[in-house]
Structure 1
Amino acid sequence: MVNSRTSASSRTPHVVVTYQGDDEIADQQQHSLLLPDRATGASVGEKRQCRCWKRLVLVISILAIGIGIFEAAFHGKEAESLQAAKNKIHQLEQELSNKVKGGYNQVLATISHGTPSDHVPNGKEAGLSMDRDVQRVMGKSVIVLKTGASVLFERLPVQLLLAQSAFQPRLDDTSQSDQARPSMLVYSDSALQLGEFTVHDALANVSSFVRNNKEFSQQYTELHSLLDNDQDREWTATEFKDGWKLDKWKFLYMWQDAFRHHPDADWYIGYEADTFVFWKSLFKFLSQQDASREHIFGCGSILMRGNELFANGGCPYIMSGTLMRSTFGKDDKFASKFDSDVSTSCCGDAELSIALRKHASVPIDKLGDSGSRFQNQRPREILFDADKWCEPILNFHHLKPHEVAVWTQIEIDIRSKKRANQTILHSDVFDYIVTKPLKIALDTLAQNETSSHLLPTKQHWQAFTNADHGVRQARPVPDPDACQKQCLESNGCTTWLWSKPNNHDQHADCHMMHYAVRIGEPYNGAEQRTSGWIAKRIHEFQLQHRCNDPPAA
């Protein structure tokens, strides 16, 4: 699947949150890059730290219900009986149901609201709750969250909590309009009830063509046989390794079902359970769009077969109601028309986009204009350049559940510094993802001080890839210091990457990034890789690109 699709395409005054994993590479293998760094968070007041920590503890505690009990039940003491394990599974399901049904309210309040000082800078409303255009869009939207049985218990609980916190969705199957609440449907490859939330089986109503497809039939039958014959549902589902083979069939059929439930919406929004969405910003963006036109918004990708453009399912992807009614609305068997295409394809999200584009009233040859608002990357993998710096950002992808929860708190912190109804920009995000060495350097420069830390480096770190925009190959060099020297001598170089395949080579590759910044991720491969940043140039870039008049959405 990976080989068959390719990508198409005002700095805040101080950094509030840094990340664990910057001091010890070993810790990076065990902890998220997005977890707050307690050692460098001392600049924040004790009360604010305490509130942040309590919120994180509450969220992690909920996740621990779904993880810790199973760990104890199945990987703990061998003497524990199978019946005791099953009892714990049953207890978990009851607790999840009860909490989703009502008991989550106090936790939700902690996650999303905090204290008034967190949300009302200078006594003003920091959220978008008073924006009537946003309320109107929310009330005319349908949100579809797609997941799979093998990751459902790991990823879904935190997403359901955050959905309740962000937009309090309507969960019934009626299509009646609500002035400020979107409808939400959750789809997987098996049905499940979690309190108020119904997880629908996206594949329950596939055509006979699909049911008779050998690969589909084998995988779907195997999964449901395991689930039906074993009460230890979560453990069984995680042992099912071929869920990705079923995934491509979900897209068209789940949207056919969602449209059947809600045929009159203005916007249909899809996302996945490892995606974090800045929901207020997303609805603000849609409030500026024309739902009467046939639109698809999202991350542009290319399906290599036929060189076809599509909206990547890992980002939020959005279809206008007008487009849905001219496709799904004109044929209640619309999904089955593309069974043959899906059967030979890698990617169900691609086939959904292609079907909608080609069967619109007027064929659609490009996605709706959204710039770089939609991202199919993790936060530190995003390329920050002059074009993106003051542009809104709507999401991240490939996040772990606890990272999704942490970004919820970061969003609160960002919005507390902004005026009411302002959207979140790429530059706002940058302050929260810099590595510890780069943060120290930038903070030093912001205070007009000098320091030996102004050329921060990190071993076992890959700041960028050779294919990134603005990357040039420099002369081969023997060590990282020589690579850094070339970057310093090259105008506009902000970041360098030294890589050496093995110890036998005298020289190694040196690559430099110009007029852009990318933080990157730990490198755990066999090569030696060291990255570094020219903090002064990054600081100058920030000063030169102050976001005084950013887009409204």
Structure 2
Amino acid sequence: MRVLLGTVSLLFLLYTLSTTSFSSSILSRRAYNSWTDNPYLLRNDHASGDVCAAFPKHAFDSIQVVLKIGAAEVDSKLPAHLRTVSSCVPDLLIFSDFEEDIGRHHLYDALANLQQPYRSANPDFDIYEKIRQQRSAGKPLSRSSDGWKLDKYKFFPMMEMVWDMRQHKKWFLFIELDTYVVWDNLFRWLSHQDPSQALYVGSPVWPKDKPVFAHGGSGIILSQGTLHTLASKGQKMRVDGLPGSHQFGQDLREECCGDEVLAKVLSSHGIFLKGYWPMINGEKATTVRFGKNEQWCEPVITLHHLSEDDLDDMWHWEMKRHGSLKPLLFEELFLHIEPSLAPQRTNWTNLSEDIRITSPDLPGQSLEECARACSDETKCYQYQYRKDTCDLSYTFRLGYSQHFDYISDQEVTSGWILERIAEFKKYNSPCREARWVHSNP
């Protein structure tokens, strides 16, 4: 067994040197700005209990926030977002697949003007009609509804409608119900950008043989220049002058996602994504990979995949940051989840993934041997074990409860080398400056 683990450690070292994660190698070479702007949010105002008093009145004057949802989420997920992330947004536009009023908010039907050629022979729009019938009758919709299949059809109509409604705005931020926005960092970052330029910004996804696109759930930012270009092209394709009456000539039935097709159309007009991962991020605090070359001294602008409880927790924690003049960095985000780390947790995945050790010929391999393999490899911060499989990682994250691995149906146990994480913090904290990374691509 010792020979095996020694070999594994050597292979791990070679793997680390030759194939260090793409994101790490790219990030370590990326240039960045170290702006030292004053915060936009007035921290001392939180003492009054009115968190929105911390937002300057002019904060959203140039930014249009657009929330894309499904009708099945109105009763279940929308309330959490409206009391947290979007609670202080004065002019929030919400687009769904059914028009209705929820409290003081009007929900627009993004698909209302879409013409028949885009609906005919498309079973997805049978779902749309069913939603309209049920919602009109006051019947609740199940969260497991097939309404998610309509999501990709909303992108272009929604953007055309938004332009017609708010074309005077300089920036347009499109988010979803599980998106979290650190407004103070967003305001700081946008203050250094030029809205007259054709900017298309987000967290990049790199599909094979297709344009790189901004992941919708992480948030998509379009400048006034970009949305003007898109709307101008779409104006020529409108039916009876109606915004949202077409899909820019795209047949979306066989397409995966609307965010991917958006990149396709924008690229055809010479507008390409500027990717700002990790600042615009597809993870939440418990699943972020923390590390020197991953996510540490970079500011957090958005997070994704937050549940309703996650939104409440994150919002209340962020709003209690006392008098901090610094932007919220991943370093500080780690402090929020660090108390939940332990030497070992059963029925838990910490998402270790950098190298996998399997030993089908050694059924006696144990959790203890997996922990020792991580200990023997000096770059390893955490491990995850299930029968006959040991995963190691050279970044650290919390993860989440998982009683059985969904593929192997085996109990999962995770562990962290807390002394190494403490040593990492000793040499890498506090961050001397915020790293506002340049775009990639």
User: When the two structures are superposed, what TM-score results if normalisation uses the length of structure 2?
Assistant: 0.79
Match of 1:308, SS state, is coil
Match of 1:473, SS state, is strand
**How many Å apart are 1:409 and its aligned residue?**
0.7
User: Which residue of the partner structure matches residue 183 of structure 2?
Assistant: 279
Find out whether 1:403 has 2:307 as its counterpart. Answer: no
Q: Distance in 1 between matches of 2:378 and 2:116?
A: 62
Alignment check: 8 A CA contact 1:462 1:520 kept: yes
Alignment check: 8 A CA contact 1:210 1:339 kept: no
**How many Å apart are 1:257 and its aligned residue?**
0.5
Distance change in 2, residues 1:435/1:478 (3 Å): farther
Which 10-residue stretch deviates more, 279-288 or 253-262?
A: 279-288
Which 10-residue stretch deviates more, 539-548 or 330-339?
A: 330-339
Q: Distance in 1 between matches of 2:339 and 2:249?
A: 46
Q: Distance in 2 between matches of 1:186 and 1:475?
A: 48
User: Which residue of the partner structure matches residue 400 of structure 2?
Assistant: 521
Q: Distance in 2 between matches of 1:148 and 1:412?
A: 28
**How many Å apart are 1:147 and its aligned residue?**
0.6
Find out whether 1:484 has 2:362 as its counterpart. Answer: no
Q: Distance in 1 between matches of 2:74 and 2:207?
A: 27
**Of 163, 168, 177, which aligns to 1:264?**
168
Find out whether 1:307 has 2:203 as its counterpart. Answer: no
**How many Å apart are 1:320 and its aligned residue?**
0.8
**Of 383, 386, 392, which aligns to 2:289?**
383
User: Which residue of the partner structure matches residue 72 of structure 2?
Assistant: 150
Q: Distance in 2 between matches of 1:353 and 1:519?
A: 33
User: Which residue of the partner structure matches residue 195 of structure 2?
Assistant: 291
**How many Å apart are 1:340 and its aligned residue?**
3.5
Q: Distance in 2 between matches of 1:379 and 1:294?
A: 31
**How many Å apart are 1:201 and its aligned residue?**
0.5
Find out whether 1:457 has 2:389 as its counterpart. Answer: no
Alignment check: 8 A CA contact 1:209 1:339 kept: no
Alignment check: 8 A CA contact 1:137 1:286 kept: no
Match of 2:274, SS state, is coil
User: Which residue of the partner structure matches residue 37 of structure 1?
Assistant: none
Over residues 57-82 of structure 1, what are the superposed CA-to-partner deviations in whole Å (9 max), with x where a residue is unaligned? Answer: xxxxxxxxxxxxxxxxxxxxxxxxxx
Over residues 232-291 of structure 1, what are the superposed CA-to-partner deviations in whole Å (9 max), with x where a residue is unaligned? Answer: x3x2x2277210121111111111111111112211100001222112211221112121
User: Which residue of the partner structure matches residue 120 of structure 2?
Assistant: 212
Find out whether 1:358 has 2:268 as its counterpart. Answer: yes
**How many Å apart are 1:153 and its aligned residue?**
1.1
**How many Å apart are 1:552 and its aligned residue?**
6.5
Unaligned runs of 5+ in 2: 1-21, 24-43, 239-243
User: Which residue of the partner structure matches residue 192 of structure 1?
Assistant: 100
Unaligned runs of 5+ in 1: 1-7, 10-111, 120-126, 171-183, 439-455, 501-507
Q: Distance in 2 between matches of 1:386 and 1:398?
A: 23
Alignment check: 8 A CA contact 1:341 1:351 kept: no
Which 10-residue stretch deviates more, 216-225 or 258-267?
A: 216-225
Q: Distance in 1 between matches of 2:267 and 2:327?
A: 29
**How many Å apart are 1:369 and its aligned residue?**
4.5
Q: Distance in 2 between matches of 1:326 and 1:166?
A: 30
Alignment check: 8 A CA contact 1:389 1:427 kept: yes
Match of 1:379, SS state, is coil
Alignment check: 8 A CA contact 1:137 1:266 kept: no
**Of 213, 216, 219, which aligns to 1:316?**
219
**How many Å apart are 1:417 and its aligned residue?**
5.5
Aligned counterparts, 1:535-550, within 5 A:
535-546=418-429, 547-550=431-434
Q: Distance in 1 between matches of 2:185 and 2:143?
A: 37
User: Which residue of the partner structure matches residue 382 of structure 2?
Assistant: 495
Distance change in 2, residues 1:475/1:162 (3 Å): closer
Over residues 476-507 of structure 1, what are the superposed CA-to-partner deviations in whole Å (9 max), with x where a residue is unaligned? Answer: 4621111111211111211111121xxxxxxx
**How many Å apart are 1:551 and its aligned residue?**
3.5
Which 10-residue stretch deviates more, 338-347 or 268-277?
A: 338-347
- The number of aligned residues is 380
**How many Å apart are 1:227 and its aligned residue?**
2.1
Q: Distance in 1 between matches of 2:144 and 2:133?
A: 11
Percent identity between matched residues is 26
User: When the two structures are superposed, what TM-score results if normalisation uses the length of structure 1?
Assistant: 0.64
Alignment check: 8 A CA contact 1:463 1:531 kept: yes
Over residues 111-151 of structure 1, what are the superposed CA-to-partner deviations in whole Å (9 max), with x where a residue is unaligned? Answer: x96525999xxxxxxx9756xxxx76631111110111111
Distance change in 2, residues 1:542/1:200 (3 Å): same
Distance change in 2, residues 1:483/1:216 (3 Å): closer
Alignment check: 8 A CA contact 2:346 2:412 kept: yes
Alignment check: 8 A CA contact 1:299 1:376 kept: yes
Q: Distance in 1 between matches of 2:113 and 2:259?
A: 18
**How many Å apart are 1:318 and its aligned residue?**
0.3
Alignment check: 8 A CA contact 2:355 2:392 kept: yes
**Structure having the larger proportion of residues in helix:** 1
Find out whether 1:551 has 2:430 as its counterpart. Answer: no
CA RMSD across the alignment: 2.8
Structure 2 counterpart of 1:551, one-letter code: R
Q: Distance in 2 between matches of 1:349 and 1:164?
A: 21
Distance change in 2, residues 1:300/1:137 (3 Å): farther
Alignment check: 8 A CA contact 2:383 2:391 kept: yes
**Of 129, 137, 153, which aligns to 1:221?**
129
**Of 54, 71, 82, which aligns to 1:160?**
82
